[in-house]
Amino acid sequence: MTENLAEDAAPVRDGQIKRHGPDGFAGMRKAGRISAEALDLLVDVVKPGVTTNEIDDLVRAHFLKNGAVPATLFYRGYTKSSCTSINHVVCHGIPNDKPLKDGDIVNIDVTCIKDGWHGDTSRKYFVGEPRRKAERLVEVTYEAMMRGIDEIRPGNTFGDIGRAIQDHAESQRYAIVRDFCGHGLGKLFHDAPNVLHFDDPGFSTAVLEPGMFFTVEPMLNAGRASVKVLADGWTAVTRDKSLSAQFEHSVGVTEDGVEIFTKSPAGLDHPPYLPKR
Ligand code: MF3
Ligand code: CO
Ligand code: CO
């Protein structure tokens, strides 16, 4: 059978869920690794007093050193190489010159483009000592993402991913943000489909097939689900100012399951970031 592989065509957003072959997997492995390494190197950097602009500079330098470029730089008017989302910021926080404070939680979201392929990943970091409430939210958010990823195999649907994430979050009394979702990616940064982090029976029935690439990136709020975007046009915050947390992996559907392209090579996928020994 002839396969219609996405890498054989021009990268256009046509609403279809693309399927990729071995070249795509190889490309995403490289891009994913560079982005994951950027997050690894920040483990020793994120502490009280450091600014998010300093973090952003390190991300950009790491990408350039590896022959990659930041996908967010000049993306739809965005001018930074990362998003840094602190405490009640849900996502798309813009790096600035304000120092991080003890007890903050900060999500750092990075995407590089390597040989045309996009590696998109984020982790939540503790700045100094986390408060118990923040620690629990972050743990549950990571676990929710991984339960979603565990559902990924040919024959399951996108709805199975969303339901697993929602079930876990809601069982711990956290709210899933509905205004932002995961996305197809590959040679495009944001492609079809929208990957919902909750079950929407009318929407999430598409079946997972080998070669599909997308992100899983749930945002969980300690309070209510609703968010608003600030006047800068990017920064999304919880309306009730409650804490929010997010993790993100870029994944590919394989013949019998899933490959996570953005796993930490150093085993630092979630806090507390104790290195593998
Ligand atoms: N990395 C984000 C995502 O997970 C997108 C950021 S776009 C930006 O999809 F312009 F805000 F950087
Ligand atoms: Co993403
Ligand atoms: Co991202």
Looking at ligand 1, which residue's alpha carbon is closest to its atom 2? 109
Query: Could you report the per-residue pLDDT of 90-132, keeping only the tens digit for each?
Result: 999 999 999 999 999 999 999 999 999 999 999 999 999 999 9
Q: Where are the domains of the chain?
A: 17-260
pLDDT of amino acid 3: 62
Calculate what percentage of the chain has a pLDDT beyond 90. 91
- Give the residues across from 51 on adjacent strands: 99
Query: Could you report the per-residue pLDDT of 207-241, keeping only the tens digit for each?
Result: 999 999 999 999 999 999 999 999 999 999 999 99
Examine the pLDDT at 2 and tell me if it is beyond 60.
Answer: no
Look up the CATH number of domain 17-260.
Answer: 3.90.230.10
Distance 2 CA to ligand 3 centre (A): 33
pLDDT of amino acid 124: 98
pLDDT of amino acid 276: 52
Distance 183 CA to ligand 2 centre (A): 6
Ligand located closest to 121 CA = 3
* Average confidence (pLDDT) over 46-64: 98
Examine the pLDDT at 255 and tell me if it is beyond 70.
Answer: yes
Distance 224 CA to ligand 1 centre (A): 23
Calculate what percentage of the chain has a pLDDT beyond 70. 97
Please state, rounded to an integer, the average pLDDT across all residues of the chain: 96
Within 10 Å of residue 207's Cβ, how many Cβ atoms?
A: 13
Examine the pLDDT at 76 and tell me if it is beyond 70.
Answer: yes
What is the Cβ-side half-sphere exposure of residue 252, based on CA atoms within 13 angstroms? Answer: 25
| From 72, 246, 261, mutation site for ligand 1 pocket: most ligand atoms within 8 A of C-beta | 72
What is the Cβ-side half-sphere exposure of residue 214, based on CA atoms within 13 angstroms? Answer: 29
| From 56, 83, 108, 262, mutation site for ligand 1 pocket: most ligand atoms within 8 A of C-beta | 83
Distance 207 CA to ligand 3 centre (A): 23
Looking at ligand 1, which residue's alpha carbon is closest to its atom 4? 120
Closest CA to 164 of 144, 193, 178: 144
Examine the pLDDT at 1 and tell me if it is beyond 60.
Answer: no
Ligand located closest to 75 CA = 1
Query: Could you report the per-residue pLDDT of 137-157, keeping only the tens digit for each?
Result: 999 999 999 999 999 999 999
Examine the pLDDT at 56 and tell me if it is beyond 50.
Answer: yes
Within 10 Å of residue 120's Cβ, how many Cβ atoms?
A: 26
Helical packing angle, 158-171 and 132-150, nearest 10°: 160
* Inter-residue contact 120 to 71 (CB < 8 Å): yes
Distance 277 CA to ligand 2 centre (A): 30
Q: Computed from CA positions of residues 177, 179, 183, 188, in that sequence, does the dihedral angle turn out positive or negative?
A: negative
Distance 182 CA to ligand 2 centre (A): 6
Q: Which atom of ligand 1 is found nearest the CA of 76?
A: 10
The whole model's pTM is what? Answer: 0.97
Taking the CA atoms of residue 158, residue 161, residue 165 and residue 171 in that order, the dihedral angle to the nearest 10 degrees is 100
Residues with CB under 6 A from ligand 1: 72, 75-76, 78, 83, 92, 109, 111, 120, 217, 234, 248
pLDDT of amino acid 275: 58
Distance 1 CA to ligand 3 centre (A): 35
| From 52, 73, 74, 75, mutation site for ligand 1 pocket: most ligand atoms within 8 A of C-beta | 75
